[in-house]
């Protein structure tokens, strides 16, 4: 029997846990925790534990598929490449968009944006960070000069006060949740404000439920109370930041008195007072947030308000402090770093600035897409519904907008308006079913590469087994297609390491990295500008990343969500995830140990609200918004705020995103998944 152990990185959340794949006779048969890994220290959550179960599923894509007369027919790679190359060349560059993915490696994200900008010469490239943390990138870059989590995961265990806002950390980033437990065991106070009494809320020393979409009012109220009591970090504000007076002028307004904030948020005044005092007075306070903060029409405002609170209390740039923006997918940080965004090249080099354009043209040795900001994923769905549509073709790698994006009827109409859709994936997803050509790709266990976790730690994926059938590695597919389209010279790569070396050459924050340096599980946190640099676990320790070194306070006024409850739609719908499933379910729903635990969707509704509507636990009800309706089993519980309901978004057959609102944050263009108006009816 042939057996080996291959250390690699988990394919699910942004925590970036190390795991060992146990390979017998060319198959991954189980997963063991990686004992020496600095983040998970020998522990895994259920998704990591069962990360092998989807790899050898019989429904993996093994051959290219071409749609003929509405049905998929198997094809050779040459046939598929020839068709894709011919069709993509037949459109004007700006009629084509490329969607990259937070699920694939840094090398593959780098190549996809390079393919868009050098082969197609289109400025339209984006990926699913648009749906989860686009507001973090914009908001934190505005405040601190860098749009990433400021601290490392290990530092959370050193915090003395942890404020969890808009994150169910224990279920969604379980091994980061473990750091919160460790901090608590050392005496830290934990505050959790959430519309649902989640497993994270159960950990808290102070929990309060509040209404989705009221974060700015909440944060302004806390800041007013801190300033009124003189608890702000005066020296820090004076020496390290600017524009504090502008924020003070806003947060001291009567509308942000704790009485008024209590009315807006539903949190008792005494809980607001306690939270403000604990957070301001502890020697090291951090805030952990996730999509509860970002997925709003005020996503950027929410993030900037979080940054204001952290600077007000002097907690940015120290161990145990920081803004811990917990990224969702395993490589969403890396996909952003690699420039799979419409406004930046890798390393956040602005596409509209002439020096960046010249640098990339010289590095890539060819003409590139015009230096203007392209469409976001969310723009693309909208312009596809214009008449005539402004886009004609999309090349999607590893994304499933037919389940993940808001207002799915709108998404379906948009994708059906395309003249040509290519989807590269490992399963025939709901989106792949709409494609003209499907290219069979590889999963995390079938390729080498790197990923960058939520704490900016760049670490390795390692190949354990071959892809199934004729499936290929994503970076290889991009290189071969580029060659078919006459650009072999720009895509000469024979290994993932060669691609990484080019990334390091053109990306200042990765310049000091190499495969040799990240071989150890400790790996390296960016920025790592030189080969001798040790990496940067904590950002902004001496100065912020703006040219003048100062953090920027931004005054923010509270605005309600785009849709608020009314007589016709009296509840707020908020959506999210559960511990057993992952995003659109393409991997976890094919993992029997995970699917067995939560095989179907549900709608969580407060016990009193259910009683008023005559709804019993497990009764199938109808949830209706202005965009659509679904039938779903009610889960009656006291653990959700009255007048709010919750649905997970993993289940295509009962898709929560049929209901959600595609209203966007005006800057980050992130949709408001976390709050829309809904009616719940007995059937």
Q: Nearest to ligand SF4 by Cβ — which residue?
A: 48
559: number of Cβ within 10 Å: 13
Minimum gap (Å) between residue 330 Cβ and ligand SF4 = 6
If one asks whether residue 485 binds ligand SF4 (CB under 6 A), the answer comes out as no
Q: How far is the CB of 487 from ligand SF4 (least distance, A)?
A: 35
195/398 with CB nearer ligand SF4: 398
Closest CA to 591 of 609, 601, 579: 579
The Cα angle at residue 290 between residues 443 and 451, in degrees rounded to 5? 30
44 near ligand SF4 (CB under 6 A): yes
CA 320 centroid distance within chain: 23
- Contact call for residue 129 and ligand SF4 (CB under 6 A): no
Please identify, among the stretches 44-52, 209-217, 365-373, 377-385, the one whose residues bind ligand SF4 according to the rule CB under 6 A: 44-52
The single-letter DSSP state of residue 13 is B
Question: Minimum Å distance from CB 39 to ligand SF4?
Answer: 8
Chain positions 181 to 240 lying near ligand SF4, rule: CB under 6 A, are: none
CB of 40 to ligand SF4, least distance (A): 6
Q: Quick check: bond before 527 cis, omega within 30?
A: yes
Distance separating alpha carbons of residues 227 and 253, to the nearest angstrom = 12
Tokens of 8: 């690699």
Pick one of 37, 47, 114, 674: the residue that binds ligand SF4 (CB under 6 A). 47
Question: Within 556-575, which residues bind ligand SF4 (CB under 6 A)?
Answer: none
Do residues 634 and 619 make contact, with C-beta atoms less than 8 angstroms apart?
A: yes
Query: What angle (nearest 5°) sits at the alpha carbon of residue 609, between those of residues 603 and 612?
Result: 125
The residue (of 103 and 117) whose beta carbon lies closer to ligand SF4 is 103
Min separation Cβ 575 and ligand SF4, Å? 19
**69: Cβ contacts below 8 Å, ≥ 6 apart:** none
Whole-angstrom distance, CA of residue 432 vs CA of residue 453: 27
Give the number of residues in contact with ligand SF4, rule: CB under 6 A.
Answer: 14
Question: CB of residue 139 vs ligand SF4: minimum separation in angstroms?
Answer: 24
Tell me whether residue 50 or residue 278 sits nearer to ligand SF4 (CB atom).
Answer: 50
Nearest distance from C-beta of residue 351 to ligand SF4, angstroms:
31
Closest approach of ligand SF4 to the CB of residue 34, in Å: 10
- Contact call for residue 88 and ligand SF4 (CB under 6 A): no
Q: Report the site for ligand SF4 in 132-191 (rule: CB under 6 A).
A: 173-175
The minimum distance between CB 177 and ligand SF4, in angstroms, equals 8
Shorter beta-carbon distance to ligand SF4: residue 328 or 440: 328
Of 8, 34, 48, 127, which lies in the binding site for ligand SF4, with binding defined by CB under 6 A?
A: 48
H helix runs in 187-323, sequence order: 199-203, 215-228, 234-240, 244-251, 258-265, 269-281, 291-294, 299-312
Any residues with CB less than 8 A from the CB of 667 and at least 6 apart, and which?
135, 138, 300
Closest by CA position to 311, among listed 233, 249, 253:
233
- Choose between 168 and 224: whose C-beta lies nearer to ligand SF4: 168
String marking each residue 3-22 x if it binds ligand SF4 according to CB under 6 A: -------x-xx-xxx-----
DSSP 8-class letter at 640: B
Question: Residues with Cβ < 8 Å from 453, sequence gap 6 or more?
Answer: 9, 14, 15, 16, 39, 153, 327, 330, 333, 459
Among 23, 45, 439, 656, binds ligand SF4 (CB under 6 A): 45
Return d(Cα 489, Cα 648) in angstroms, integer. 45
CA pseudo-torsion sign 501, 144, 340, 52: positive
Q: Please tell me whether residue 102 binds ligand SF4 under the rule CB under 6 A.
A: no
Residues in touch with ligand SF4 (CB under 6 A)? 10, 12-13, 15-17, 40, 44-45, 47-48, 173-175
């Amino acid at each position: 029997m042939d057996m080996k152990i291959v250390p690699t990185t988990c394919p699910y959340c942004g925590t970036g846990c190390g795991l060992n794949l146990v390979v017998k006779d060319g198959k991954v048969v189980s997963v063991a925790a990686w004992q020496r890994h600095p983040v998970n220290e020998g522990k895994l959550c259920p998704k990591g534990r069962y990360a092998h179960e989807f790899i050898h599923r019989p429904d993996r894509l093994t051959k290219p598929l071409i749609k003929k007369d509405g049905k998929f027919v198997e094809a050779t790679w040459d046939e598929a490449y020839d068709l894709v190359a011919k069709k993509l060349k037949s459109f004007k560059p700006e009629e084509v968009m490329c969607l990259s993915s937070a699920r694939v490696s840094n090398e593959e994200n780098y190549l996809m944006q390079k393919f868009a900008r050098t082969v197609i010469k289109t400025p339209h490239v984006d990926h699913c960070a648009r749906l989860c943390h686009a507001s973090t990138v914009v908001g934190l870059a505005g405040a601190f000069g860098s749009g990433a989590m400021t601290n490392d995961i290990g530092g959370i265990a050193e915090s003395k006060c942890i404020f969890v806002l808009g994150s169910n950390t224990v279920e969604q980033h379980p091994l980061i949740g473990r750091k919160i437990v460790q901090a608590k065991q050392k005496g830290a106070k934990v505050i959790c404000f959430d519309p649902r009494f989640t497993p994270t809320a159960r950990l808290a020393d102070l929990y309060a439920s509040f209404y989705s979409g009221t974060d700015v009012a909440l944060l302004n109220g806390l800041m007013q109370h801190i300033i009124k009591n003189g608890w702000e970090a005066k020296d820090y504000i004076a020496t390290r930041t600017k524009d504090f007076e502008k924020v003070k002028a806003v947060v001291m307004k009567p509308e942000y008195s704790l009485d008024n904030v209590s009315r807006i948020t539903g949190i008792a005044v005494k809980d607001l007072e306690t939270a403000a005092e604990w957070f301001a007075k502890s020697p090291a306070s951090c805030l952990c947030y996730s999509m509860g903060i970002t997925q709003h029409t005020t996503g950027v405002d929410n993030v900037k308000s979080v940054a204001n609170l952290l600077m007000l209390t002097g907690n940015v740039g120290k161990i145990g402090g920081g803004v811990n923006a917990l990224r969702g997918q395993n490589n969403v940080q890396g996909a952003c770093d690699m420039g799979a965004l419409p406004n930046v090249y890798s390393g956040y080099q602005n596409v509209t600035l002439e020096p960046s354009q010249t640098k990339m043209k010289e590095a890539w040795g060819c003409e590139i897409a015009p230096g203007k900001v392209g469409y976001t994923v969310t723009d693309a769905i909208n312009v596809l519904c214009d008449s005539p549509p402004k886009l004609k073709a999309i090349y999607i790698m590893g994304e499933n907008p037919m389940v993940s994006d808001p207002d799915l009827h709108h998404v379906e109409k948009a994708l059906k308006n395309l003249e040509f859709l290519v989807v590269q994936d490992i399963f025939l997803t709901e989106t792949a079913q709409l494609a003209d050509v499907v290219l069979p790709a590889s999963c995390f266990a079938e390729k080498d590469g790197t990923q960058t976790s939520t704490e900016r730690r760049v670490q390795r994926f390692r190949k354990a087994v071959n892809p199934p059938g004729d499936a290929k590695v994503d970076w290889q597919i991009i290189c071969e297609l580029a060659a078919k389209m006459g650009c072999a010279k720009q895509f000469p790569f024979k290994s993932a390491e060669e691609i990484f070396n080019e990334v390091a050459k053109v990306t200042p924050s990765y310049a000091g990295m190499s495969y040799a340096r990240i071989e150890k599980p400790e790996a390296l946190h960016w920025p790592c500008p030189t080969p001798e640099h040790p990496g940067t676990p904590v950002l902004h320790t001496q100065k912020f990343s703006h040219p003048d070194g100062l953090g920027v306070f931004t005054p923010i006024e509270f605005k309600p969500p785009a849709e608020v409850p009314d007589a016709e739609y009296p509840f707020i719908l908020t959506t999210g995830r559960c511990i057993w499933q992952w995003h659109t379910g393409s991997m976890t729903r094919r993992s029997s140990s995970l699917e067995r635990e939560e095989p179907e969707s549900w709608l969580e509704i407060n016990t009193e609200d259910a009683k008023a509507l005559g709804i019993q636990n497990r009764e199938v009800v109808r949830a209706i918004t202005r965009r659509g309706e679904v039938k779903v089993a009610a889960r009656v519980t006291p653990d959700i705020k009255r007048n709010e309901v919750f649905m997970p978004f993993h289940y295509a057959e009962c898709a929560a995103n049929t209901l959600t609102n595609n209203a966007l944050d005006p800057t980050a263009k992130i949709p408001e998944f976390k709050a829309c108006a809904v009616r719940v009816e007995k059937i």
